[in-house]
Structure 1
Amino acid sequence: MSTIPATASVVVVGAGPTGLTAAIALADAGADVVLLDRLAEGANTSRACVIHARTLEVLSEFDVAAELCERGLIVPNFSFRDGNRVLAHLSFDQLPTPFPFTVMLGQNDTESVLLRRLERAGGRVHRPCEVTGITRDDAAVTVEYRDGDGAPGTIRADYVIGADGMHSPTREAAGIGFTGDSYAESFVLADVRMNWPDPRTEATLTLAPQGLAVVAPLPDETGDRYRVVATVDTTPPEHPDRDFVQGIVDACRPGSGTTVTEVTWSSRFHVHHRLADHYRAGRIFLAGDAAHVHSPAGGQGMNTGIQDGAALGGLLARVLRGEPATLLDEYERTRRPIALGVVAFTDRMTRLATIRSTTGRALRNTAIRTAARIPALRRAQAYRLAELGAR
């Protein structure tokens, strides 16, 4: 492990997509940025796997969007279903963007692209390095850490970005509240191989009586690799197996003849919908899951975080070059309302998807089908899923 500097202009805590993007923006501007992560290596599982149009627009400014598109799978369509019935079909191909589609690509691949881009800008990730304390005063922030050998150290920085996830130590050290709640249902996430009946140009959100299920294709030479995200009433196994996922698929698409042949990775989790009360406490800022968490419906979590990182990194770079520090007020003023909208939007999607009563489901389905017949409403929904309103 290389020596960690004792001083820096900005310390970024957390080297996921959000932290990497913020560090790239700062390194490109010539800022003295130190990126710390407590894990010994980056993501080696797919986890978040949807990259939306607005995120691709943001990342095109760092010259990595083309590589992400090349490595990923282009998916221009999204559908809502109730079992075997199509309720609505959305297409991104008419949206006002150079990227009228989503890109399906595992988070591990997205992080590797961003890491190489950071290294080209002269930056690097110091890992494993666990932050053990953060204190601030009017002049700077002191970050205490323990490196991979267990040795303690400190960094004195002008600013700190907490991109360290839902259980953010940075947020706790800053004393910022994280308001919200959690869903009663458990979520299952799995990467599988199966003979799914829908075209691989389409992701599907199924509103089954058992709950929400999202199925999206993943890049693969054999063409049978998919991501499955679903709600379940019971506590699932820590790593759901093939039979468990097969039951989910059978419930959301009965009679389709779909066979899950392999589960390559799986996990269970509880989902929260929470938003930081503030995005800033003096010289400490929050971004990504440290600032907002929400339902995976729509696949917007990583996207909102990457956009946070780019916006905050850019603003800090300008201030470090001599622009007024009041410019930093723009970060919370612009990004928090966007996250509030995403949290509310995904919460509505999840609650609509998990309606159990027959009457309620019938009314919901009628409303969705009726709205889908109106081109302007279809376009507005696609526009929102693509996060183009975050411009």
Structure 2
Amino acid sequence: MHDVIVVGGGPVGLYTALLLRQAGLDAVVLERRADRSSHSRAIGIHPPALRALAAGGIAEELRTRGVLIRDGVARSAGRHVGTISFSTLPGEEKYVLAVPQAVTEEILERRLQEEFPGTVRRGVAVLSSRDHGDHVRTVVRSQGEDIVLEARLVVAADGARSSIRDGAGIRAPSRRYPDCYVMGDFLDGTEDGDDAVLYLETGGIVESFPLPGGIRRWVVRVGCPVERPTAENLTALIRDRTGVAVDATTHSMLSAFEVQSRLAERFVAGRTVLVGDAAHEVSPIGGQGMNLGWLDAVRLVPIIAASLRDGDDVGARLAEYEKERRAQAALARRKAHLNMALGRPLPGPLMRSRNAVLAALIRNDAVHTAVARAFTMQ
């Protein structure tokens, strides 16, 4: 009988487990993948999440492995539109930290292995999870054998298509958006340094972010889903819209995705609690999803510890957790909607007029600060 079973070994599940173990609880992570993925989709860590990660003692190592983005630059048709500086942000973290997700997961898993060996169990697929009132009975398959595990609580961190959420009878209606993107990582041949750059172009937005090791990520909005993205097609899109030449032969990652969102109607059902994308899927544009999940964990783990370790009645606190985190997820979804709207194609005259308005707004100190805070989830 474990205290907590965490289903899902991504960045949110791993950090939830680390906090649980540091709180003195017996927690295990069940991850169906036998090995960590080298594919890094999420890269941005915003200041509130970085402060949350400091609670687990990993923020400093992440900082040493990442790039500190202090400015976001907007360009259009080869001209400078404006620069958002994060120097006006409150607190010490006046930047967005860019770290490949694979690096983040490696740090989290290594920390768990060093401090709490055996916490992460890979190659374990959850077949079913049933709430029996005073405990949860979970059937898993590992190395071809079906095994029964029991816990006082299950935390679902198994992503947007969460089987644990569905098994608990929690509805999470999805919403699709008319936005598709192709992205890839290439050697950085620009002179943009550690700046993030947004190209506001008539054909759709192109985004560019620095990564460690002289790598730059490019994200391009396209009009329809791309099943098999190629480096040649992506770099041609970048060149045609921005004039920037990217060497296709240097790519280290390619991906294409459509955008949808979902918000679970409940985050707590009996002895099952949702965190991360299992609770709230938002558009990757804006980089909020992983950060929201870590903020879930920091808010949730003290409540679990008070219940399972100290025997407190935490019903009211769980209700407040659900109310607060659903509200934050809804806010993040609205921000993502605005981010995507900003990147949609516009005719040239409308694009120029809109960019002129944006440039004027950015020059206003109050608006500048508000935009910087919005982009960094503050």
Structure-1-length-normalised TM-score? 0.91
CA contact under 8 A between 2:198 and 2:205: conserved in structure 1?
yes
Give the CA deviation at 1:139: 1.6
Q: Please state whether the residue corresponding to 1:186 is helix, strand or coil.
A: strand
After superposition, residues 1-391 of structure 1 pair within 5 angstroms as 7-123=1-117, 124-147=119-142, 149-197=143-191, 199-220=192-213, 223=214, 225-238=215-228, 240-254=229-243, 256-320=244-308, 321-326=310-315, 327-358=317-348, 360-388=350-378
AA matched with 1:159: L
Query: Deviation per CA, 1:35-89, whole angstroms, max 9, x where unpaired?
Result: 1011001231222111111111111111111110101111111123334233331
AA matched with 1:61: A
CA contact under 8 A between 1:211 and 1:230: conserved in structure 2?
yes
Distance 1:52 1:83 in 2: 29
CA contact under 8 A between 1:182 and 1:272: conserved in structure 2?
yes
Distance 1:363 1:154, change over 3 A: farther
Distance 1:49 1:138 in 2: 39
Give the CA deviation at 1:154: 1.7
Question: Relative to structure 2, which stretch is displaced further, 69-78 or 208-217?
Answer: 208-217
Distance 1:103 1:309 in 2: 19
Distance 1:231 1:312, change over 3 A: same
Distance 2:168 2:135 in 1: 13
Structure-2-length-normalised TM-score? 0.94
Structure 2 alignment gaps of length 5 or more = none
Give the CA deviation at 1:162: 0.6
Give the CA deviation at 1:24: 0.9
Distance 1:231 1:196 in 2: 20
Give the CA deviation at 1:214: 1.4
CA contact under 8 A between 2:238 and 2:245: conserved in structure 1?
no
Distance 2:28 2:246 in 1: 48
Distance 1:289 1:311 in 2: 16
Distance 1:180 1:237 in 2: 21
Give the CA deviation at 1:177: 1.6
AA matched with 1:375: D
Question: How much identity, in percent, do the aligned residues show?
Answer: 31
AA matched with 1:300: Q
Structure 1 stretches of 4+ moved >6 Å: none
Q: Please state whether the residue corresponding to 1:131 is helix, strand or coil.
A: strand
Distance 1:273 1:360 in 2: 28
Question: Relative to structure 2, which stretch is displaced further, 170-179 or 310-319?
Answer: 310-319
May I ask how many residue pairs the two structures share in their alignment? Answer: 375
Q: Please state whether the residue corresponding to 1:160 is helix, strand or coil.
A: strand
CA contact under 8 A between 2:235 and 2:245: conserved in structure 1?
no
Give the CA deviation at 1:203: 0.7
Give the CA deviation at 1:363: 4.5
Query: Deviation per CA, 1:128-148, whole angstroms, max 9, x where unpaired?
Result: 11111111132222111111x
CA contact under 8 A between 1:179 and 1:275: conserved in structure 2?
yes
Distance 2:79 2:173 in 1: 37
Distance 1:151 1:55, change over 3 A: same
Distance 1:293 1:286 in 2: 12
CA contact under 8 A between 2:268 and 2:318: conserved in structure 1?
no
Query: Deviation per CA, 1:199-236, whole angstroms, max 9, x where unpaired?
Result: 2221122222222221101101xx3x111122212442
Query: Deviation per CA, 1:262-304, whole angstroms, max 9, x where unpaired?
Result: 2111111222122111111121111111112222222122111
Give the CA deviation at 1:359: 5.2
CA contact under 8 A between 1:194 and 1:262: conserved in structure 2?
no
Distance 1:90 1:350, change over 3 A: same
